[in-house]
Structure formats: C-alpha cells, structure tokens
Amino acid sequence: MNINPRTVGFVVVASLTACVFADVDTGPSGHGPLPAPAVQKLAPATLSERFGTWFVPVPMITLDAMDQGALLAEDQATVQPAPFRFGVERGVKLSLNDGQWMDVAGGRLWRIGIDAVGALNSRIHLSGLDLRVGQELAITCPDLEQKMTGILERTGDFGTGEAYGPFSPTARGQIEWFVPTGQSAKELPFDAVGYSYGYIPVFSEISNGGTCSLNPACYPAWTNESNAAARLTFTSGGGSYLCSGQLMATTAADETPYLSTANHCISTTAAANSCSMIFFYRSPCTGSNSPGTTVAGADLASTYLASDCTLLLVKGALPVGCFWDGWSSLNPALNAAATGIHHPSGTPQAISFGVKNAASFNCGSPAGNWNSLSWNQGITEGGSSGSAIMTDADHKLFGVLTCGGSACTNTAADDGYGRWDLAIAATSSNFATLLAAGSDDTLEPNNDCANARAITPGTYNTLVVKRLNEDWYALPVATGATLTMNMTFTHANGDIDVQLFTACGGAIALDRNANTNNESFTFVNPSASPTVYMRVYLSSDTRNEYSFTFSTSTPAPSNDACATATAIGVGAFAFNNSLATDAPPALPASCDEGSGVTITKDVWYRFTAPITGRMTASTCNAASFDTRIAVYVGDACPTAASAVIACNDNSATCSSGTSKAEWSAGVGSIWYVRVGSGAAGTGGLATLTMSAAVNCPADITGNGSVDGGDLAIVLGGWGGSASDQNGDGTTNGADIAVILAAWGACP
C-alpha cells in the first residue's frame, strides 16, 4: 500500500547476510507463455449444475448492514505499510434447518445462500470442514462466470479444514453440500461460517482508484510482463485485502508457479491458502475490461521481512498464456530506467514508468533495504503493494512495492521497493534455492517409460507431476491379475490424467481423463507381460501434487475347486496353478509313496471316459514343478479320502517329480481328476494329458483281437523283454499262456 514515507512505522529486525555479487547478473530471464492444452475440457460444474437444480430458488440468510464510514475510518488509522483492506469478515450463525434439502441422483443436496444489506462484494469462508468419504461441498457465486474454485472433499484442498469461496462482486454467495445415499446428515460438516462484508467496490468496472493510470495493453513491449501480473485478494486477521503480485521464473525455467508479492501483504500460510489470484484482469488499449481468470489458493514458499519480499507457490491451475517474469540478483545503478505493472486500488492492470532516483527509501529500517523510484508517467496506489519493479534494459524484477506517497492526487511522490537482491542473498530466506528449480518428489527421475520407477503395491504420498516432467511407474501386475488404483488430487490445481500401457511404446491399454477430483479404477492385465506401465501427466496447468494407493490381485483359476471343475475328455490341457488355493479332501495314506500325502494349489477336472478301457492322467515331463495327481470315482465331488481310485506323486517313468495315474473305466463313466503340487507352496505352468486305451493288453498288433499275429510276436521275441506280457521281464511260456487266455475279440 502506498503511504507517505514520513509516517512509516515499519521496523526491520531481521539480519542481512552480506553478499558480493559478480558483475554478471545470474538471475534468470522470463519465459512463457503457457500453451493451451492439447485437449480442451469443460470447467467442472457446480453441484446445482451437476444435478440440474440450478433454477430452483435457494433459501437465503440476510445479514444486517455494517457502518461503512466507521470501517473507512479504521483504515485511515491503520499503521502503514499495510495491505489495502476492502472487506471485513463477520461470523454467520447457521444451522442445518436454515438450508434446503433436495433429492438428487445418488443422494441429497443441501443448499443455503448468504447475503448482507449494503455489501459491495462478498466471500464465504468455512472453518472446521470435515466431510465424510463420498460427500462433496462447493462454495459458489451465482453472479460470477467462474462460479466456484472447485469441489471440496474431506478437509479441503489444504487439509486444514479451512475453505474459501471466490470473491463475488455482489453480496451473494452459496453453500452446496451433497450427501450420498446411505449416509445420514444430522449436523453441518463444518464448525463456523465467515462472511466477508465488502465496503469498497474493488470488483466493479470503476473501482476506488483514480483515472491517472496508464494501460499496459497500449505498450506492447511489456505484454509478457502483463501476462505475469496478478491481482491478489486474500483473507487475513478478520479482513479481506488486496495486493499485487507476479509469476517468477526459476533458473531452470521449469514453469514452477512461484509468485512474488510483499511480506506486508502475505506472510503466513493461512493468508497464502486463502489467496485468490486474478490474471489478465485488464483492458484492451481501447474497449471494455476483461474479467480475467481466477486462480485459487497458494502455499507460503518463503518470506523475507527485512526487504518485505514474499514468495508463494500457486496451487490453483494457471490459465493459458501466463508468463514468468525474470529477476535480477543485482541491485541496479542509480538513474536506471524502470517499469512496474500493478493493480492500483483494485482497478484493471496499470503500468508506470520511472527511474531509480535514490539507493534508499524510508519504508523501514535500515532504509537502504529499499530502492526509491520516481515516476515519469503513471502512479501507484493502495492495492499496488507487492507488484514488481523491473529494469527497462532487461525487463528483470529487482524489487517489490512496499510503501510511498504516489497517487493520482500526488503524481510527483516517490515509492519504495523492497530489494530483491537482498532476499536472494539471505540464506534465511531460501529464495535462491527455491528459484533455482521447483521441487519434485523422491521417486524422480521417472520422466518417460524407459525410466519408469518400479514400485511395489502400497501407498505413495505427496508426489509431484509437472507439465514439463510427467511421471511413469512400472507396476507388477501378473497376466490376468487385477490392478486396483486409488489416486487423490485436487482437480482445480491441475487436471491430472492417467494412462496405462502393457509395453513401452505400445498402444494405450487404459485412458483415464476425467474432469474431476481423484481417479479410481481397476484394470485386468490381458498381456503376457507381468508389468503394467502407468503414465501420470497434466492435461492442463504446470504443476500439481497427488498421492495414490494401489494393489494387485490375481483370481484363482476357474477350476480351483471341485464344484467348478473343468469338463474335459481325451486331450492335452495346459494350466497354471500358481494362484490356486488348497482344497479338501485330504489324500489317504495309500497315496503315500514316501513323501507324505501333501497336495497343494490343486485344480480340478471332470473327465468322461470315452470308451471302456484303461485311462491315463499324466503330467509326465510336462510341468515346471513337482506334481501330484489323484483320481476320484463318481459323478459328484468327493467328500472323503476313501473316494480316491488312483493317485501318483513321482512316476518312475517321468522326470522332475512329474506324475502319471492309471485306472480302468467303463464308457461314459465320470471321474474327477485333481492335479496339484506335491510340495507345499509351489506351482507353475503344466500340461495335463488325458488318454484312453482299450482294455486288451494282449492285443499286441492293435487289430482289436488276440490272435495268431499276437502269438507270432511273442514267439519271435522269445527270451527277450520286448514282448513280455506278464511283467516278469522275460518272454517265455508264461507269456504264451497270457495270449491263449485272452484269445478272441477284445471286449
């Protein structure tokens, strides 16, 4: 705020760190503008708009008028420098019964409006906000094009329970609260309501300022800096205030949304959180004013009392076209030409041209912490505080406005600007570190698929995604497994979207590009790859923070239990029992081949015998693990171990612990084949082969009859083992007896 320097009561107690600068300025140049997103999306709807109730009148609470003369007298008595006050916050007694409930899709909507007699502008502020999961709340201004700053959930955008609506140019604001079906609502989800009673018309076309300001739109050399400037309105200590500020470039030019203003404007986290910034609030060189674009909320990055400098980190999404001002780490020489862009008394942007006429100004002690500026054209006024002063030579900021006597009624008065070089040099401010490059999260670098960060299921908090630095993650999701993702973020702070891929460079497997807070989804991995790649990126804005929790689950095979056994006949059936569970019944002792009767991760098949003969169930040499097979008789699932008709753990004719079970069956009979692991906890890929053979082993020729051809084979193999029929290892007279006993057609 501009004041007569002879009345300053501002004493600096912070110490300065001495610093010797090189002859070359090390501060960055400006950059921008912020481009338009590839995909344009509609702004989020208010709750009334979403549920189609916007045309239904809202019940109103009307507050009494305040004594505006008394408020203006308080401002006159305020010790300077101080920000430009235009409103005071007053408490509102509000109960659940004051509002109106409406049935809407998926739940109920409660609404209330608040206004006040004689208020020239307004804002609603909630404290103690604590919404249950699924509930949503919006603070809206029906008279604004940007009717709200965003949908609120849980404890608000900053997690503090404090929530601010936009400043309205009228006396009216609304609260909308959605409660989903199944939840009760016996009391309001906040503790207190504050209403900002505006007594100075800082949001009107013709504001409190004078008519002597110059329009920056008429000076195209300063278009970029005009695109960096913002009008700041915020709540602090029970008042509503107005200052100016501007986006600040980092040395890395990484689009971190830092914004500078004055310490006497904003010096606390609470005030920063409440701050509402309007960019592009200006007039064309000829014509009517542009309403600008509002961005809500900031964090206090750092502040430096000694030269009245503050650095904010803007939280809300920046509009397309913003520019980031460059800054200098040097203090310019006397008589350096300089220019400032600001919002005097809340009016649209103004530009002032002047010169550094002295190395000190009495905004505080020591006076050398401020540069003195005299104006050749233009002025500053209350509301200009925090705005930049920039050298004409390189358009770099070297200070922010603290105090002075300039006004339309005193165009010859000088102003004092807090020295930016001192704030940069002071280690206590941390400005130099912050403005080197914006911070990122600990999972960096993960800017592309090739460098995707491999993570395990769990929770990951306070992650940062940037327009120039998107995030990639490699998630372990087995083939057929389900990924469950729950991501939280504030959409108003930047539109975060998510894509999934099953291979780097592959097609998009899932695209989530909603226009709301948070993202929650499930995804079943259809590919053979056990890794799913997740891309987190900004569809709009330059920076946002998010957190996510993810888990994976792979369903057991469909034939994990006997009740869901797969029906099969003769053939080969590949399976994977890695995620199968253990099922009863236990195997009988008769199945113990020396390694116990354990069977785990078992899968089930329902086999129908195609012929009368010898059946075989085999994983012989066709499994990556130690298998075990059990066969049960009957057309119903077994309930006792006694139902086992055949079993095998490690067949002597198979390798690696694979198995083969054989039994006799009649045509059309039903059997349950159980295949699992003979060792606890193991499993993998295997193939079960089912075969059937006529029950006529003496038919050596396979012609369906035991006859002279079979006898000739036995006689031809006499003394050897190849034609052995009775299993004694030698072809002899006993084998002839077997042939003769089976003589005739096979059954």
581: left (phi over 0), alpha (psi -120 to 50) or beta: beta
Answer yes or no: is 440 within a domain. Answer: no
What's the average model confidence in pLDDT over 536-555?
93
Is residue 256 within 8 A of residue 209, CB to CB? The reply is no
Residue 450, number of CB atoms within 10 A of its CB: 10
Average confidence (pLDDT) over 334-341: 98
Closest-CA residue to 255 (of 317, 164, 308, 171): 317
pLDDT for the residue 204: 67
Q: Residue 39's pLDDT is what?
A: 73
Q: Can you tell me which residue has the tokens 């307004």? A: 122
Interval 474-484 mean pLDDT: 92
**Residue 467 tokens, joined:** 């327009």
Q: What gap in Å lies between CA 698 and CA 739, rounded to an integer?
A: 6
The angle subtended at Cα 384 by Cα 338 and Cα 253, nearest 5°, is 60
Asked if residue 612 belongs to a domain, the reply is yes
The residue segments making up the domain with residue 719 are 705-745
* pLDDT of 38 strictly over 90: no
Cβ-based neighbours of 636, under 8 Å, separated by 6 or more: none
pLDDT exceeds 70 at position 288 = no
pLDDT of residue 15: 36
Q: Which helix (H) or strand (E) holds 351?
A: strand 350-358
| Residues 578, 687 share a domain | yes
For residues 515 and 578, state if they share a domain.
no
CA distances from 320 to 33, 285, 491, 706, 736 (A): 7, 21, 16, 92, 97
Percent of the chain with pLDDT over 70: 95
End position of a domain, from candidates 434, 460, 481: 434
Phi and psi for 539 in degrees, rounded to 5?
Answer: -75, -30
Q: Which residues contact 193 (CB under 8 A, 6 or more apart)?
A: 91, 92, 94, 114, 124, 125, 126, 127, 175
- pLDDT of 376 reads 95
Same domain, 689 and 574: yes
Distance CA 439, CA 293 (A): 26
Name the token pair of 140.
Answer: 């809206």
Helix (H) or strand (E) holding 741: helix 733-741
Residue 443 resides in a domain: no
pLDDT (0 to 100) of residue 6 = 28
- The confidence score (pLDDT) of residue 682 equals 80
Q: Name the 3-class secondary structure at 368.
A: helix
Cis peptide before 557 (omega within 30 of 0): no
Count CB atoms within 10 A of the CB of residue 664: 13
Statement: residue 453 has pLDDT above 60: yes
How does pLDDT run across 395-411, given as a tens digit for each residue? 999 999 999 999 988 99
pLDDT at res. 58: 96
Q: Are residues 471 and 517 in the same domain?
A: yes
pLDDT of residue 144 exceeding 90, the answer is: no
User: Domain for residue 237, yes or no?
Assistant: no
Tell me what the mean pLDDT of segment 333-342 comes to: 97
CATH number at residue 453: 2.60.120.380
Do residue 395 and residue 352 come from a single domain? yes
Closest Cα partner for 461 from 492, 487, 491, 498?
487
Instruction: Compute the half-sphere exposure of residue 437: CA atoms within 13 Å on the CB side of its CA.
Output: 8
SS3 category, 72: helix
Nearest CA-CA partner of 85 in 73, 95, 96, 97: 73
Residue 739: predicted pLDDT:
80
DSSP state of 31: B
Q: pLDDT tens digit string along 292-306?
A: 899 999 999 999 999
Mean pLDDT of the chain: 91
Task: Name the token pair of 107.
Answer: 């739940």
Q: Are residues 684 and 714 in the same domain?
A: no
Least confident window among 30-39, 448-457, 509-518, 685-694: 30-39
- What phi and psi values does residue 344 have, to the nearest 5 degrees? -65, 125
Q: What is the pLDDT of residues 172-207, one digit of tens each?
A: 999 999 999 999 999 999 999 999 999 999 986 544
* Residue finishing a domain among 527, 553, 579: 553
Q: Enter the tokens of residue 621.
A: 């040499």
Residues 6 or more apart from 169 whose CB is under 8 A from it? 121, 143, 144, 203, 204
CATH number, position 713: 1.10.1330
- In this structure, the strands spanning 600-608 and 566-568 are parallel
Query: For position 683, what pLDDT does the model report?
Result: 84
Mean pLDDT of 126-151: 93
Element spanning 287, H or E: none
pLDDT at 211 over 90: no
Q: Which residues is 312 bridged to in the sheet?
A: 259, 300
Distance separating alpha carbons of residues 433 and 665, to the nearest angstrom: 82
Quote the number of domains for the chain. 5
More confident residue, 542 or 716: 542
pLDDT digits (tens, 9 = 90+) for 218-262: 999 999 999 999 999 999 999 999 999 999 999 999 999 999 999
Question: In angstroms, rounded to a whole number, what is the distance separating the alpha carbons of residues 423 and 19?
Answer: 11
Residues 740 and 667 occupy one common structural domain: no
Provide the CATH number for the domain around residue 327: 2.40.10.10
Q: For residue 127, how many other CB atoms are within 10 A of its CB?
A: 15
Backbone angles phi, psi at 434, to 5 degrees: -60, -40
The neighbouring-strand residues paired with 396 are 326
Poorest-pLDDT segment among 115-119, 222-226, 466-470, 741-745 = 741-745
Q: Tell me, what's the pLDDT at 643?
A: 79
The three state secondary structure string of 416-459 is EEEEHHHHHHCCCCCHHHHCCCCCCCCCCCCCCHHHCEECCCEE
Together in a domain, 149 and 257: no
Report the distance separating Cα 570 and Cα 646, nearest Å: 17
CA distance 134 to 178: 9
697 has a pLDDT exceeding 70: yes
User: Which amino acid appears at position 333 of this protein?
Assistant: A
Q: In the block, which residue shows the tokens 């692991």?
A: 677
pLDDT score recorded for residue 702: 62
Dist CA 114 CA 175 (whole Å): 8
- CATH number of 122's domain: 2.60.120
- 320 with 423, same domain: the answer is yes
User: Residue 327: which of 390, 372, 385 has the closest Cα?
Assistant: 390
Same domain, 113 and 171: yes
Window from 186-200, 565-579, 592-606, 687-701 with minimum mean pLDDT: 687-701
Q: Are residues 192 and 218 in the same domain?
A: no
User: Could you tell me if residue 294 is inside a domain?
Assistant: no
CA pair distance 644, 661, nearest whole angstrom: 11
> Token pair 């430009």 is at which residue?
84
User: How is residue 264 written in tokens?
Assistant: 């006497």
Identify whether 42 is part of a domain.
no
| pLDDT for the residue numbered 11 | 37
pLDDT for res 130: 97
pLDDT, tens only, 426-439: 999 999 999 999 99
pLDDT surpassing 80 at residue 339: yes
Residues 581 and 672 in one domain: yes
Question: Is residue 466 over pLDDT 90?
Answer: yes
